[in-house]
Amino acid sequence: MAEGALRSLAVDGVIGGVGGVLVFLPQIMFLFFFIAILEDCGYMARAAYLMDKLMSRVGLSGKSFIPLLSSFACAIPGVMAARVIEDRRDRLTTILVAPLMSCSARLPVYGILIAAFLPATWWIQGLTMFAMYLVGIVAAAGVALALKKTLLRGPTPPFVLELPAYKWPSLRLVVHRMLDRGWEFIKRAGTLILAVSIVIWAMLYYPHDAATVEAPFAARRAAVEARLANAPADGPERAELEEELAAVDNEIAGAYQRQSILGRMGHWIEPVVKPLGWDWRIGCAAIASFPAREVIVATLGVIYNLGKDVDPGEEEGQTQLTEALRSATWDGSDPPRPVYNVPVALSIMVFFSLCAQCAATLAVIKRETNSWRWPLFTFVYMTVLAYVGALVTYQVGMLLV
Amino acid sequence: MIPVIEAVAFASVQDMAALVLVVSAAGYLAWQGWRVVRKKSAGCGGCGSCASTQPRESQPFVEAATIKQIAPKP
């Protein structure tokens, strides 16, 4: 296909966006495989019993444990499972903290940033992933305690639970659930994430005013091209010139992004996200992820690949997106200053572990509480918590680095 | 205001095809947003990544009962 809008949409928008999310399908299927085993063997009720004492310290009972554990897969069944709690205050507290559990949609966000910026030692990367899950658990405990001491004050009711018999999980059922959820993930990537990727691509591509954007680079590019035409085929000079041409092309791609709709919007919000260590691209990706958080991977894929010539790295597990994130620099910085480092990656992960970026969950909270007040409360408190958490993470991280 | 409309030059079929896809994607997102607000798909299964096998009629994983409920009736 010739160079043009449709080619850019297919390569940068669809492949760069949806492809970046789809690579996480195996991890998602593993997660659901193990959750299905836990559910099917009868362990959940025992875990709820074991956790009762711990949960009572934050004002909840063991009954809240199952909704909260379910929320590690997805907050929606977690919120709905809170119906089993008879006490209204306990039920409401459980519903309000359930979205803080790290659901499967957060997994791609953690995965891409940990792979790109944490040292490739299994225990560091594994501990960081565990720490992200812990951030949500600790925050949920703190929020539950605060709610039970203020807005939803009341005694913790006694915990009574019928324990089902232990049994071997049915392999057929577990595999069926795993495949079913895997298929749902693919469908989501093919619908919502695809649509968001296309819209983000359009906001980053238009207005594609070549005359204005390329004019300042035209003379420099023409000079490099002329020297390249006269350079010997096998000489070292040719490789240098090709690198220089690629650098000019990347500068042109950057200029296109800055004058795009998303680029201009991003520069308006940059002062808000800069204290978190983020540039306008990360800010835009975070805002685009409010309907569904896994969209950030697709959005970053579109933003960092659009019009750029990024070679996938040779290291194991290194994708084009991780390489693009590593090579991203602040606009106008001279010498080029990398956008991403470990504190920035941790700041993004903490933000995503605490933020209410799921429209479907908020809608279910509205349905379960029969009021817009509680989803609004959830959205506000989680967004503030996420911003403060990310700010503290980045600022403390920069002091330590 | 950003001169989006003026700047979109219909230079080729590629431009027009891309624009049709973008408008379709934006329409799909608007429809999905409207469905969430209208509660049509806000139930279990709305997000597509939950562990429930019965999306619209999910049952709690464990039934809880009070002592009164599980005690045999006289």
Read out DSSP for A160-188? --PPPPP-PPPHHHHHHHHHHHHHHHHHH
Query: Considering only CA atoms, which of A200, A167, A154, A173 is closest in space to residue A292?
Result: A200
Interface of A with B in 254-293 (CB under 8 A): 261, 264, 291-292
Q: How far is CA A14 from CA A61, A85, A96, A347, A359, in A?
A: 46, 43, 35, 27, 23
Is the bond into A336 cis (omega within 30 degrees of 0)?
no
Q: Hey, is the C-beta of A72 within 8 angstroms of any chain B C-beta?
A: no
CA distance B32 to chain A (A): 8
Q: What pLDDT does A316 receive?
A: 46
Question: Torsions phi, psi of A292, nearest 5?
Answer: -160, 120
Q: Which of A39, A74, A94 to mutate to test the interface with B (most CBs of B within 10 A)?
A: A74
pLDDT at B27 over 90: yes
Give per-residue pLDDT as tens, A125-180. 999 999 999 999 999 999 999 998 898 887 777 777 778 888 899 999 999 988 98
Query: Considering only CA atoms, which of A293, A93, A363, A376 is closest in space to residue B43?
Result: A363
Spatial separation of the C-alpha atoms in residues A171 and A74, rounded to whole Å: 22
B71 contacts in chain A (CB < 8 Å): none
Spatial separation of the C-alpha atoms in residues A232 and A230, rounded to whole Å: 7
Report yes or no for ipTM above 0.85.
no
Q: What pLDDT does B72 receive?
A: 59
pLDDT at A339 over 50: yes
pLDDT at A352 over 90: yes
Q: Which residues of A238-267 are buried (b: 16+ CB within 10 A; e: fewer)?
A: eeebeebbeebbbebbbbbbbbbebbebbe
CA distance B73 to chain A (A): 17
Q: Which of A76, A83, A187 to mutate to test the interface with B (most CBs of B within 10 A)?
A: A76
Q: What pLDDT does B71 receive?
A: 58
- Out of B21, B25, B62, whose CB is closest to A48? B62
- Out of B8, B44, B48, whose CB is closest to A187? B48
The share of chain A scoring above pLDDT 90, in percent, equals 24
Q: How far is CA A291 from CA A21, A157, A219, in A?
A: 16, 36, 44
The share of chain B scoring above pLDDT 90, in percent, equals 19
Q: Do B53 and A176 touch (CB under 8 A)?
A: yes
Give per-residue pLDDT as tens, A374-394. 999 999 999 999 999 999 999
Q: Do A103 and B63 touch (CB under 8 A)?
A: no
Give per-residue pLDDT as tens, A190-235. 888 888 889 888 988 888 888 888 888 888 888 888 888 888 777 7
pLDDT at A50 over 50: yes
With 0-12 / 13-18 / 19 or more C-beta atoms within 10 angstroms meaning exposed / middle / buried, residue A3 is exposed
